[in-house]
Chains A and B, each alone.
Chain A
Amino acid sequence: MIELSQLTKVYGEDVVAVDQLSLAVGQGEVYGLLGPNGAGKTTTLRMILGLLQPTSGEATILGCRVSSDPLRMKQLIGLVSASAGLYQWLTPRELLQYFAIGFGLSLEQAFQRTRELAEVMELERFLDRRCATLSTGQAQRVNLARALVHDPPVVLLDEPTRGLDVVGAKIVFDYVQLLRRSNKAIIVCTHQLEEAERFCDRFGLLYRGKLQYEGTLAELRASTGQPSLVDIFLKLLRDDASGNGSSNVDSAKEAVLAQ
Chain B
Amino acid sequence: MNYSHTNINTATDSQTSVQATDSRQTAVPFSFAQQWEFTLKELRETLRDRRTIVTLMAMPLLLYPMLGLGLRFLAFQESSDQKVEYRLAIGSETEGAWLSEALQLGNSLLAASSEAKEQQPAPDVQLLVPNDPSEFDLEALVKNSAADVGVRVQLNEASVGNQFPATARVQLLQSRDSVRSRDAADYVQQRLAAANIDWIRQTSELNGKPFRLPVEQIRVLLEPAETGSAVLGLLPLILLLMTVTGGVYPAIDLTAGERERNTLETLMALPVPRFRLLIAKFVAVVAVTMLTGLMNLLAMSITLYALQLDKTLLGGDGFTLGLGCKLFLALSAFALFYSAVLLLLTSSARSFKEAQAYLIPLLLLSIAPGLVILMPGWNLASGTAALPLVNMLLLSRELLEGTVALLPAIVAIVSTVLYGVAALAMAAQVFGNDAAAIGSRGGWKDLLQRPKEMSIQPSITAALVGLAILFPAYFVTSGILSRGDAQPTGRLGLSAAMTIALFVGLPWLLMRWQRIDVLAGVGLKKTSWHYYVAAGMLGIATWPWIFALVVFAQSIGIRGIDLSQIENVEGLLAGWREVPLWLIVVCLGVVPGVCEECFFRGYLFNGLKQHLNATWTIVVSAVAFGLFHVVLAGGAAPERLLPSTLMGLLLGWMAYRSGSIVPSIVLHAIHNSTLLIVVQSRDLLAEWNIGQVEQVHLPWLWLAVSAGVLGVGLMITRLAIKPAPFSTKEPETI
Contacts and interface: CB of A to CB of B under 8 A. Distances in A.
Interface of A: 11, 42-43, 46, 49, 51-52, 69-77, 79, 81, 83-90, 94, 97-99, 101-105, 107, 109, 112-113, 116, 119-122, 146, 148, 150-153, 171, 174-175, 177-178, 181-182
B328 interface: no
Contact of B28 (A70, A102, A113): A102
Given A71-B27, A75-B18, A151-B15, A120 B4 contact: yes
A120 B10 CA distance: 12
Contact of A87 (B16, B263, B269, B437): B263
Interface stretch (B37-45, B312-320, B552-560, B660-668): B37-45
A75 B436 contact: no
A25 to B, nearest CB: 17
A76 B11 CA distance: 13
Contacts of B11: 113, 150-151
Nearest to B263: A85
A72 B271 contact: yes
29 contacts: A11-B440, A43-B438, A51-B265, A52-B436, A71-B28, A72-B25, A74-B269, A75-B28, A75-B271, A83-B262, A84-B262, A85-B261, A86-B263, A87-B41, A87-B263, A89-B48, A98-B37, A101-B33, A103-B28, A113-B11, A120-B1, A120-B3, A120-B8, A122-B1, A148-B8, A153-B16, A178-B3, A178-B5, A178-B8
A54 B270 CA distance: 19
Interface string B585-625: 00000000000000000000000000000000000000000
A165 to B, nearest CB: 15
Contacts of B27: 69, 71-72, 74-75, 104
B438 to A, nearest CB: 8
Nearest to A119: B7
B34 interface: yes
A185 B615 CA distance: 40
B267 to A, nearest CB: 8
A171 B18 CA distance: 32
B271 A103 contact: yes
B10 A116 contact: yes
Which has the most chain A C-beta neighbours within 10 Å: B9, B16, B26, B33? B16
B16 A150 contact: yes
Given A11-B439, A49-B269, A99-B270, 5 more contacts: A43-B438, A81-B266, A89-B45, A101-B37, A116-B7
B3 A174 contact: yes
B49 to A, nearest CB: 6
Given A89-B49, A113-B11, A182-B8, A77 B269 contact: yes
Nearest to B10: A116
A69 B25 contact: yes
A52 B7 contact: no
B273 interface: yes
A63 B269 CA distance: 20
A81 B265 contact: yes
B268 interface: yes
A217 to B, nearest CB: 25
Contacts of A42: 436
A103 B265 contact: no
B16 A152 contact: yes
Contact of B270 (A74, A89, A148, A177): A74
Contacts of B41: 87, 90, 94, 98
Contacts of A178: 3, 5, 8
Contacts of B15: 103-105, 109, 150-151
Contacts of B20: 72
Interface residues of B, number: 44
Which has the most chain B C-beta neighbours within 10 Å: A102, A103, A178, A181? A102
Interface string B251-273: 00000000001110110111111
B266 to A, nearest CB: 5
Contact of B9 (A83, A97, A151): A151
B270 A102 contact: yes
Contacts of B434: 51-52
B534 interface: no
Given A90-B45, A120-B4, A150-B16, A51 B436 contact: yes
Nearest to A153: B16
B28 A107 contact: no
B468 interface: no
A83 to B, nearest CB: 5
A17 to B, nearest CB: 8
Given A11-B440, A75-B28, A89-B44, A51 B8 contact: no
A51 B269 contact: yes
B435 interface: yes
Contacts of A85: 261-263
A151 to B, nearest CB: 3
Contacts of B7: 116, 119-120
Contacts of A112: 10
Contacts of A94: 41, 44
Contacts of B5: 178, 181-182
Given A89-B49, A182-B8, A51 B37 contact: no
Contact of A101 (B34, B268, B440): B34
B53 to A, nearest CB: 12
B263 A84 contact: yes
Nearest 8 Cβ contacts at the A-B interface: A151-B11, A74-B271, A72-B27, A104-B28, A85-B262, A102-B270, A89-B48, A75-B271
Contacts of B266: 79, 81, 84, 99, 146
A81 B28 CA distance: 23
Contacts of A109: 15
B45 A52 contact: no
B16 A102 contact: no
Nearest to A53: B434
A75 B16 contact: yes
Interface string B13-38: 00110101000011110000110011
Contacts of B33: 101, 107
Nearest to A158: B265
A52 B437 contact: yes
B226 to A, nearest CB: 49
A226 B308 CA distance: 89
Contacts of A70: 25
A70 B20 CA distance: 13
A103 B1 contact: no
Contacts of B439: 11
A71 B272 contact: yes
Contacts of A122: 1
A143 B37 CA distance: 20
Contacts of B262: 81, 83-85
Contacts of A107: 33, 37
Contacts of A113: 11
B125 to A, nearest CB: 69
A150 B1 CA distance: 21
A46 B434 CA distance: 10
Contacts of A89: 44-45, 48-49
Contacts of B269: 49, 51, 74, 77, 79
B437 to A, nearest CB: 6
Given A75-B28, A87-B45, A116-B7, A104 B265 contact: no
A51 B10 CA distance: 29
Contacts of A181: 3, 5
A90 B270 CA distance: 18
A71 B262 CA distance: 21
